[in-house]
Each structure stands twice: as C-alpha cells, then as structure tokens.
Amino acid sequence: MAAPSVKGFPDFQRLKILAKDEFTSLLDQMPGRKDLVIDGELMKPLDRIASVSLLKQRGVDKIFKFDSSLKSMHGCEQRIYLVRPRMTTMKAIADHINSDRNINFKRKYSIIFVPRKLHTCLSVLEYEGVMGCVTVSEFQLDFVPLDKDVLSLELPEFLKSFYLENDQTWIHTVAKSLVRLQALSGEIGHVYCIGRGAKMVNDLMNFLMKRNSSEQDFSRHEIGSLILIDRDVDYVTPLCSQLTYEGLLDETFGIKCGTIEFGPEVTGKQQSAKLLLNSDDAIFEDVRNRHFSNVLGYLSSKAKSLQQDFDKRHGLKSVGDMKDFVANELRRLKEQKSVLANHIGACEQILGKKTKGGFEDYLQTEHSLLEGSGLRDNVNFIEELLFKQDNMLKTLKLICLLSLTQNGISPQTYKSLKTQYLQSHGFEQLVTFSNLKSLGIVTDQETGSQAGTPLNKVASGMAAMTRRSTFQSLCKKLSLIPKSDDIDLKNPTDMSYVFSGAYTPLSCKLVEQVLTRGGFTGMEEITKYLPGGVHSENHVKASKDHSTPVKDKSGKSARQDRPVSKVVLVYFLGGCTYSEITALRFLGKLKGYIFVIATTAIINSSTMLESVMEKPPI
Amino acid sequence: MSSLRRESQDEEEYWMKSRVNKSKFNLFDDNVTVENAEELAKSKKLLTQFEDDDVDTVNWDDTPVSSVTESSAISGVTGRVSFTPSSLESVTPTVQYSKSQEKLHSLTSSSSARSLEDEIPSFISTSSGSKNLEEEIQYLKRALKKARELKFSPEDTIRKMILGEPYSLEVFRSKEEKLQLLDKAIQVHDGNAITAVILFLRQTIKPSLFNLELQRRPVAINHYLSYLRAHYDFKELGDVLGMLNRTEEAAILKYKQAISAPDVRGKMNALRGCLKAHFIHEPDLAHEANLVEQHAALLERQWPIEDTDSKSEAQGNPLFRQFPRKVSILNMPLITTLYYCCFYHGRDAENLLTSPFAIKKQHQLSDKQYVWTALSARSRLKQWTGIEELLTAKGWFGSTKKVSVIGFDKVCEILHRTSAPEEILSKYLRMIDGSERRLNIARKYKCHEVVVETLVYLRDRHELQVYASKLPPGSLGLRNAQDALRSSTIKWKT
C-alpha cells in the first residue's frame, strides 16, 4: 500500500496520511475522554481515513451516529461533533446543548465542520445561544482516495445544490481540494474547463493559489493537465444503463465509498460480506472494467485454475512442502476462493435481476432513444411501463433520456406522460417534474426555448433551423453512436464498449478531444452546443514570460511529449459513474495517458435522480 | 507574516494589561455603563477567540480616540455579522445591560475557561511588571495610527472570508460598500461569502432597498432562496418567489408544503387551499392545476373508502378474509387505487365512490390505462367472464366483437403474469393478429395448442414436426400435431 506510486500514478496515500494527521490533532485539541458524534454520511469516508483503534487511542470513548431527531444525548463530559455544515444539524446540536443546560449537566462541546464552517451554521449556533460554549473548528477532509486513480469528495449533494438551486457554496470545496492536491503534487500546468461550474472552480482556485508563474519547472510536477467538466454538460451518460461489471455492481448493490456489502443471497452464507473494491483485489481488478457479457466466463475459468492450485496439495511430497503450502499458499488460496465466490454470486444476482425485469426490451428502447429512432415506439414503451406501474426510477430514466435526446418532449406527449406518471406513481411527483424541468433534464418543447435545458439555451436557434436536437448534433459531430453494429466486447477498440457499443459517453469523448487537440481550438462546432462554455489556461510558459496566466488561444501545447503531461486529472463536478471511469481507463490504455479521476461523488442513474426526486408519502 | 504574529503577541500582552485596568470596574455594578459592559464583553470575546492582528487595533475602549472611529471600530471587533449595533441602541438600557451580563457570564463560564488559565501567568507578569506608561503610550499611538491607516476594503474582507480568517462586515456602513462586498463575493464565486453578505444586507438595509438590490443580482437571489429553503423559512421564500414573479416555483413550494401535512384530512384541506390560491388563477399552470385538483380529489375518494373498508374488514367481511388488504389505500397512487377498487369493488355502481368506472371518468383515464388495470385485477380474481366483458365492444346493429385497446398480445402478457389457465390464455392468443407474431407469443407462453394450430395455418410441416417432437407424450398439443401431420387435406408448404 505504501508504494510511492503505481505505474506513474501520483501517490494519493499522502492525502490519507495528511487527513489522518489533521484529524488526530483535532481530536487532541480536546484532551482526555470524549464522545464522538459523527454525521451519518461521514462515517464511511472517515472509515477510509482513520480506524476505530486510532480514535480510541486518542481518547474517544463512545462513537455515536448523529441523529437530528434526538432532542438530547447522553455520554461523557466531553463531546465532539463531526458534521457537515448544515443549519438543521446546528439546530439539533444546539438542542442537545440546551437540554444539558436545563438539567445543569456540565459538558464541553466541540464542533468539527467537514470540510468547512459556514456562516449560516455559525449564525444558527449564535441565534440558539450556544455559541459561547462550543469550540468550532474545521477538518478539511476533501478528497477521499477510493483507489489509486479515483478521488472522491463524497459530496453527492453538490448536484442538487449547484445545478438545481444554483448555490455556489460547494465550489469553494472543489477549488480547495485542487489547491491542496497541487500543494502535494505540484501545480498543474494546463487547465481545461468545460462548463459553468468548471470555470468558477478555476477562477476560485487561481484566487486561492496566487500562482507565481515564472519560476516553476512544471516537468517535475506529477500531474500535467486538469480537465474540469460539469455534469450538466452531459446528463445523458449517467442515465444510460451501465453494463460494465463495476457499474452493474453499483447499480445493483450500491458501492458506498469504495466498499460493497453483499447480502446472504450473494454470499450463500448466513452472514453478509463487506468487500473493499479496489485495485488491491486482483480478481476484481481483472474484471471491473469488463463488459458484463465477458465476466462470468472469466470468473469460472479463474475458479477452475484456483481449484487446480488447491489440488496441488495432494501432490505434495515432503512434510516441508506441506508446511510451506499451508503457511503460504493455503491462506492466499482460501482468500481468493472466498472473494471469487462472492463475485460469482454477485454475477448471478445481476443476471437474475436483469433477465426477470424485461431488461432486453428496456435496453433496446434506451438505445433507440440515443439513436433518435422509433420515437412513437419508445413513447409507447414508456407508457406501457406506466400502465404496469413498473419501477418508478426506471421509467423516469427513459422519460429523461427522451427529453434530453430530443431537446425536450413535444407539448402533448409531455403533458400526457407527466399526467400518467403522476397517476401511476403518486401526484407528489409533481415536485420531481418541477425539479427536472429546472435542471433542464425533462422539459416541454414549448417552454424549452425560453426556460429550457442548458443544452437548449445555447442551441435553441440552431435547433429550430436544423430540426436536429442538440444531442443528436453532438452525436453526429463526435460520432458518439458507432456505425458498425458488431463491436468486439471482449477485445474492445473503442470506449463505446462500456455501453455495448451503442454509445460513446459524451463526457469521455470530450476529454479525448481536448487532449488530442491540446485545447478547444478547432472544436467550435462542438463547443457551441455545450452549456456554460469552455475555457482553457496554460501556465506552462517560457521562464522569461512572468505574466499571469495567459489564455491559451492558440491551443498549442509544446510539452505534450513530456512524461508528466501524460498524467491527466479529470474532475467531474456533480458526480460521475463507474462506466465513465472505466471508459477513461480504457482511453488511457489506448492513447497512453494516465487518468486520475476526481469527482464530487460517484453516482449512478438512480442515485442521481433520487437526489432530486420527491419522496413517496409512504 | 511572522512579524505580524510577533506584533500580535505584543498586543496580546497589552490586552492582558488593559484587562487589568478593566477589572477595576465591578461588572455587575449598576454604575457601569451599558457601553462599557458591552465592550468589555466584546473584548473578552475577542481575547478568547481571535489572535488575529487586525482586530486588536480597534478594540479598545477607555482610550482617547475620537468617537467616530471608536464606534465603527467597536462594531468591527465583534467579528460577527448578525450582531447589529443599531438595534441594540434602540433597546432600553436595562435590557441591554442584562444582555451584556448574560453574554459575559457565558463567556467567562465556559468558552474562556481554557484561555483564562492560559493567560494567568502573563497576567501576573504584566501586572507585576512596572506600569510602563511610556510603553503604553507608544502602543496606543501605534494602534491609533494603524486604525486610521487601515482601510477595510471589500476585497480584503471577502478574501478573509474565503480563507476562513476572522472578518467583520460591520465596518461597512455605506450601501455602496455593502454592495461592493456582495459584488466581490459574487465575482469570486464563493457561496458562503455571498450568503453571509446577503444576510448582512438584509439586517442592515430596509427591505425595499434589499429587494431592489437583490433583484439586480440573479446569483444573489439564488443564494438567498437557497438559504431560505435550508432555513425552512417558507413564508419569506414564498414572498420572494412571488416578488420575482416566479409563480410556478412559488406554487410548487406551496404544494410541497401542503402535501407534507401529517394527516390526510389536513392534507386535503391544504391542497384545496393551495389550489385555489396558487394554481387556478395562473394560466401557465393550467396543467399543474388539473393535477393538483386530481390529487385532492383522489384523497377525498380514498378517505371514505378506507373508512368503510377498514370497518368492513374488522367486521369479518368474507371478501377481505379471502383476500386480506395488505396496506391502507390512503395516499396510494391513483392507479393503485383503481386496481384496489377493481379488485374489491369491481361491480359497484357508478354513483358510488368505489366504482372503478367513476374513477376513470373523474380522472379522465385513457381506455388503455383503465383496461390494463381492470384486466390485471379481474385476472387475479379469475373472473374470466369479467375479462370477456371488458374486451367486448358493441358493434353496429347490436352485434358484438372482441377488441382490445391494449392489443391482445398485452392481454396475454397480463393473463400469463397472473397465471391464468391455458384454456383462457389460448382463447386470447388466438385473437392476436398476424400469425408469425401469434406463433412467437404462443411459443413464449408455451401454449402448445395455439402453436400447433398456427403452424398448421402457416402450412409449415417441417416446423410442426420439430415442435411435435418436443411435446410431452399424451398431451393435447401432441395429439393435434399428430392429427395434422397425418391429415391429407392440408397443403403443406414446400
């Protein structure tokens, strides 16, 4: 684990160590025995940073999960709250403190905000009259390294907060994470921004960094380029059904902060199993990026060879061999066997679920929506799902794709689908539709031109002329829909394999284009369709030129040949899917880049939609 | 930076001294003026909270500074935005006094506990050390100079906010400066700073001005709305949305509030009220108004049904004993309610609330929606004649014929899903148009008779032979197939 870097990847263990040290010193600020109350959503990220034994060692007596419904809490005379900065949380903490005061219980309180204290939170504490008796500090935990090439802020609320409510509070956290990362890995020379939030992050990052451009030798820095990309540039990709193994694991079981929990139906035992999913698990590393059709066969062949290794024990000649086998081989084999059994069990579950739910028809509809063909059939299929009261998320995904690929839904169809959706899944979903409209994910073509999707805003005029939707234009210009039907899913040659060769993720294609062109030059025909615009900055300049960042109009990047510039940090604002990570890994192998993926959170179609949906009343 | 730090340490020492001075006052004496107490509290707070260098330049009270700088400086000390000097001034002195007392109390009792301990040594040293008057005068001169020189620029303040350093917004008294703050915060895209400045503005300028300036800055509006949402300040949120003419959002907000009512009766009333106030008069929201109306109507239907049926179930109605109700029908979606009524009340007259047909009519459900649901319910109940009725249309001149708005393939899908017997399934399979399609669907549901028939119809002897070879011996399908294969009247395809 402590290896300095794996095959050119910057070492992100350092981030973990830094975070751990910071957290430890925060705990030490309250010497002696204390209770730790943790925000539920911080449990898993903290788990990746610090162990329970470390907490105990630092005087933590009991660990509680923060529950905002509790009016008071018991525990020892010192307490630390480790929380996200939210006003409701502050109110609940104030309630705890005031209830202690009412019974004259003396306790010391400390609130540690992750990653940052907010003015509104402090106001609540002040308003509730508890400001005087709490100490307030910050734990700047931003990136949680999930793997050697994946960094996540574990901040899924970014999507709703920034794109739905247009609240820029979390932009600071994103910018800060980059500043802190560059403090370790060196400044990043080339920055490319795709979208509105991307530009904001870049601005704030520059504001925080005070770059001193001239003196630097960028070739020694670990990361060559940074591509920031807004989720609202491409809502289509996360809504497509994932077909890679890791993507399917996430969609079926939910991967949380790099860990997965398999229930008894997968393990085949009484108890469930928790697995850390990363490149340290050799079997998982072998299959994670594969198309699902190509996983089970591999796993079973692996099982066979494992069995052969096991059988070796019968052929052992001497006691020494036997001893050696038991000491070294057996343990490894047993571990592998259990891991393998879990993965095979998971595959079976995935297969079972997919064959039962009419997945093939669904997938076909999804693909023809992406192609923009058979509109009437697609609408009929959606209606049928509504008649059946089939899974509400699944149905909504198709409605979203219908709208996104067509620049909104025609007024009549929009009204009819919305009405039927509400009738089948509860009128409360009116709120969901309102949110999706604000996000530009499901719109009415009538209003589309005014309020409209982010994509539409840019291209409404053009769409009227060409009658081709923005998405379709992008598909054509970037050839996102491969022409040939037969793609070798086993030995892919194209990123589209992650979606069975039906579609190349737009976000990843944009990354590819930016890197091969060294900027946005010559991409005007494409960038005009992207909401929020694009921006690029080149800080790698001749040493004499000590001017502040100059916009890279020419788009030429002389340093492409340097090894460092092959390390590319792709930062998704608003989250990315495992399929996108997989596609970029593939692109990296194909073109010789080393991609590091940073994201505000790892999402899938369900978590993305759920975050903006109204909950059913029951 | 290090020099600053040193300087601030010096100044901290000074503070120890000045506190010595202050301790001459009896804090709880009525003679202490309100201002003194207030400032004392503030400076104590300052001591415990900040070791910043800017703040101390201004936080000093019993010193001969002109009153103007003093007042602005003092407010700067608090470092707290929500502290409003103006409002405090207007309060009667007694109240104010008790306030400061309380503040002081809490400060000394808890938060400053540590710092007091820490500071005791220096306290002693400075007090035991000679009262070097010269030194103090030097310091005061320096501080005064600094206070005059130091201009709090909006840029600096925003930078401090972004870097998480202590800052103060109270020094900005003019509207222009406050707006500069806001614009700077917007320019650097820090939501926290934007929100902080907005709340400061809201407290210090009158609402009409506040609203005006806010409306000129869409980014500020969004942050204000986001704050109000997170603060559950729905009244103000609704007002602002109304002011901005964002009627749809305002209406949806009210709807959201209405549906969060805990009991069904309250929810019905709230929905009706919200519909009247926010939806029906908005031409742009005609479609949404219809949906909210439907929501209210649905609850008004579910309420009495649940009431009657739960009683009837308790009394041991055989229908509910045969098919126990799993959950209450309250708050269920419309289609679920329709299914429920088809299931338990399929034959109820149209003038009753439970009538499926009345539901269809009131909610203008399409024939497809209705047939799909009714068919599923009747199939589950094994009401085969009921299904026949559902799929029978009166033709001209009183004749009848079988029609299905959802297509007979879907009819078969539902029947198969609800495990209808083969005889029934076959009957409807035969109604599927297109022999190839019929053949495929029949194969899918393993309806051998229909498969054989269709193959015969298609005169595909080869396929029939293949199919027959897979059929279980003695089955009706096999017998039919063998009959057909033996028959001499069929002209097989060649």
- Residue A127 located in a structural domain: yes
Whether residue A459 is found in the same domain as residue A530: no
Whether residue B407 is found in the same domain as residue B484: no
Helix (H) / strand (E) containing A274? strand A273-276
Neighbour-count burial for A116-125, b at 16+ CB within 10 Å, e otherwise: bbbbbbbbbb
**Domain extent at residue A259:** 254-356
Whether residue B88 is found in the same domain as residue B21: yes
- Please give the pLDDT value at position A70: 84
Whether residue B427 is found in the same domain as residue B454: no
Chain B residues touching A126 at Cβ < 8 A: 80, 82
Helix axes A375-387, A359-371, angle to 10 degrees: 140
Report yes or no: B451 and B442 within 8 Å, Cβ to Cβ.
Answer: yes
- Please give the pLDDT value at position B273: 95
Distance CA A285, CA B145 (A): 66
List the CATH number of the domain containing A179: 3.40.50.1910
- Please give the pLDDT value at position A306: 87
List the CATH number of the domain containing A421: 1.25.40.850
Highest-confidence range of A198-212, B20-34, B351-365, by mean pLDDT? B351-365
- Please give the pLDDT value at position A474: 93
Domain boundary among B109, B134, B159: B109
Cα torsion B449, B453, B456, B462 to 10°: value is -30
Whether residue A19 is found in the same domain as residue A136: yes
B189 Cβ under 8 Å from any chain A Cβ: yes
Residue type, B22: K
Strand partners, A35: A79
Query: Cβ of A97: how many Cβ atoms within 10 Å?
Result: 22
- Please give the pLDDT value at position B486: 86
A-chain residue closest to B160, CA distance:
A208
Whether residue B12 is found in the same domain as residue B104: yes
- Any residues with CB less than 8 A from the CB of A79 and at least 6 apart, and which? A34, A35, A36, A37, A73, A107, A108, A109, A110
- Residue B420 located in a structural domain: yes
CB contact under 8 A, A427 and B190: no
Closest CA to B286 of A617, A447, A612: A447
| Stronger pLDDT, B401 or A297, i.e. the higher one | A297
- Residue A243 located in a structural domain: no
List % helix, strand, coil for chain B (3-state, nearest 5): 70, 0, 30
Parallel/antiparallel/unpaired status of strands A190-194 and A534-538: antiparallel
Domain boundary among A140, A164, A193: A140
Whether residue A448 is found in the same domain as residue A364: yes
Structure tokens at B282: 């908005």
Q: Where are the beta strands (DSSP E) in A448-603?
A: 534-538, 550-551, 567-573, 594-599
DSSP per position, A123-161: HHHHHTT-GGGEEEEE-----EEEETTEEE---THHIII
Residue with tokens 């299929």: A381
| Stronger pLDDT, B70 or A374, i.e. the higher one | A374
Chain B residues touching A203 at Cβ < 8 A: 188-189
List the CATH number of the domain containing A35: 3.40.50.2060
Query: Cβ of B363: how many Cβ atoms within 10 Å?
Result: 21
- The residue-averaged pLDDT of A571-595 equals 96
CB contact under 8 A, B106 and A434: no
Q: How confident is the model at residue A518 (pLDDT cuts 50, 70, 90)?
A: confident
Separation in Å, CA of B407 to nearest CA in chain A: 12
CB contact under 8 A, B368 and A116: no
Number of residues written out for chain A: 618
- Please give the pLDDT value at position B131: 63
DSSP per position, A472-515: HHHHHHTT-S-S-S---SSS-SSGGGGGTTS---HHHHHHHHHH
Whether residue B426 is found in the same domain as residue B451: no
- Residue A493 located in a structural domain: no
Highest-confidence range of A603-607, B83-87, B376-380, by mean pLDDT? A603-607
- Please give the pLDDT value at position A10: 86
- Please give the pLDDT value at position B148: 55
CB contact under 8 A, A118 and B164: no
Whether residue A385 is found in the same domain as residue A473: yes
Distance CA B270, CA B275 (A): 8
ipTM at complex level: 0.89
Q: Of the ranges A520-534, B141-155, B370-384, which one carries the lowest mean pLDDT score? A: B141-155
Q: How confident is the model at residue B479 (pLDDT cuts 50, 70, 90)?
A: confident
Structure confidence by residue, pLDDT tens digits, A143-190? 999 999 999 999 999 999 999 999 999 999 999 999 999 998 888 989
Counting residues of chain B whose pLDDT is more than 70, the rounded percentage is 71
- Residue B348 located in a structural domain: no
Chain B residues touching A116 at Cβ < 8 A: 164, 192
Chain B residues touching A117 at Cβ < 8 A: 164
CB contact under 8 A, A119 and B195: yes
Whether residue A132 is found in the same domain as residue A150: no
CB contact under 8 A, B192 and A167: no
Whether residue A152 is found in the same domain as residue A135: no
Number of residues written out for chain B: 494
Whether residue A460 is found in the same domain as residue A509: no
Distance CA A475, CA A453 (A): 17
DSSP assigned state of A285: H
- Please give the pLDDT value at position A321: 79
Q: Is the pLDDT of residue B410 over 70?
A: yes
B262 Cβ under 8 Å from any chain A Cβ: no
Structure tokens at A345: 């069990």
Residue with tokens 């600053």: B4
B-chain residue closest to A166, CA distance:
B222
Domain boundary among A97, A112, A140: A140
- Residue A485 located in a structural domain: no
List the CATH number of the domain containing A349: 3.90.830.10
Whether residue B6 is found in the same domain as residue B102: yes
Q: How confident is the model at residue A215 (pLDDT cuts 50, 70, 90)?
A: low
- Residue B239 located in a structural domain: yes
Residue type, A259: T
- Please give the pLDDT value at position B365: 95
- Residue B278 located in a structural domain: no
**Domain extent at residue B390:** 366-433
Average pLDDT, chain A: 87
Chain A residues touching B363 at Cβ < 8 A: 423
Q: Is the pLDDT of residue A24 over 60?
A: yes
- Residue B489 located in a structural domain: yes
Chain A residues touching B259 at Cβ < 8 A: 428, 617
- Residue B86 located in a structural domain: yes
Distance CA B176, CA B339 (A): 63
- Residue B318 located in a structural domain: no
Whether residue A347 is found in the same domain as residue A379: no
Whether residue B402 is found in the same domain as residue B459: no
Q: Is the pLDDT of residue A513 over 90?
A: yes
Structure confidence by residue, pLDDT tens digits, B89-99? 333 333 333 33
Whether residue A520 is found in the same domain as residue A580: yes
- Residue A473 located in a structural domain: yes
Structure confidence by residue, pLDDT tens digits, B239-265? 999 999 999 999 999 999 999 988 899
Whether residue A315 is found in the same domain as residue A376: no
Report yes or no: A271 and A264 within 8 Å, Cβ to Cβ.
Answer: yes
Q: How confident is the model at residue B143 (pLDDT cuts 50, 70, 90)?
A: confident
- The residue-averaged pLDDT of B437-444 equals 91
- Residue A350 located in a structural domain: yes
Whether residue A136 is found in the same domain as residue A17: yes
Counting residues of chain A whose pLDDT is more than 90, the rounded percentage is 65
- Residue A246 located in a structural domain: no
Domain boundary among B211, B245, B279: B245
- Residue A240 located in a structural domain: no
Local structure of A241: helix, strand or coil? coil
Query: Cβ of B268: how many Cβ atoms within 10 Å?
Result: 20
* Number of domain units in chain A: 4
Helix (H) / strand (E) containing A228? strand A225-230
Distance CA A435, CA A442 (A): 9
- Residue B410 located in a structural domain: yes
Structure confidence by residue, pLDDT tens digits, A398-437? 999 999 999 999 999 999 999 999 999 999 999 999 999 9
Average pLDDT, chain B: 77
Whether residue B155 is found in the same domain as residue B226: yes
Q: Of the ranges A187-196, A457-466, B483-492, which one carries the lowest mean pLDDT score? A: A457-466
Whether residue B99 is found in the same domain as residue B14: yes
Report yes or no: A448 and A407 within 8 Å, Cβ to Cβ.
Answer: yes
Report yes or no: A127 and A103 within 8 Å, Cβ to Cβ.
Answer: no
Structure confidence by residue, pLDDT tens digits, A318-330? 888 778 777 777 8
Within 364-423 of B, beta carbons closer than 8 Å to A belong to 365-366, 368-369, 372-373, 406, 410
Chain A residues touching B225 at Cβ < 8 A: 165
DSSP assigned state of A165: S
Whether residue B420 is found in the same domain as residue B466: no
Distance CA A264, CA A271 (A): 6
Helix (H) / strand (E) containing A230? strand A225-230
B162 Cβ under 8 Å from any chain A Cβ: yes
Residue with tokens 């101390």: B56
DSSP assigned state of B347: T
Domain boundary among B228, B245, B262: B245
CB contact under 8 A, A120 and B199: yes
Whether residue B409 is found in the same domain as residue B460: no
CB contact under 8 A, A120 and B194: no
* Number of domain units in chain B: 4
Strand partners, B99: none
Q: Is the pLDDT of residue B76 over 80?
A: no
Burial of B205 per CB tally in 10 Å (0-12, 13-18, 19+)? middle
* A/B interface, count of CB pairs below 8 Å: 155
Query: Cβ of B318: how many Cβ atoms within 10 Å?
Result: 7
Whether residue A330 is found in the same domain as residue A365: no
- The residue-averaged pLDDT of A494-518 equals 94
- Please give the pLDDT value at position A541: 66
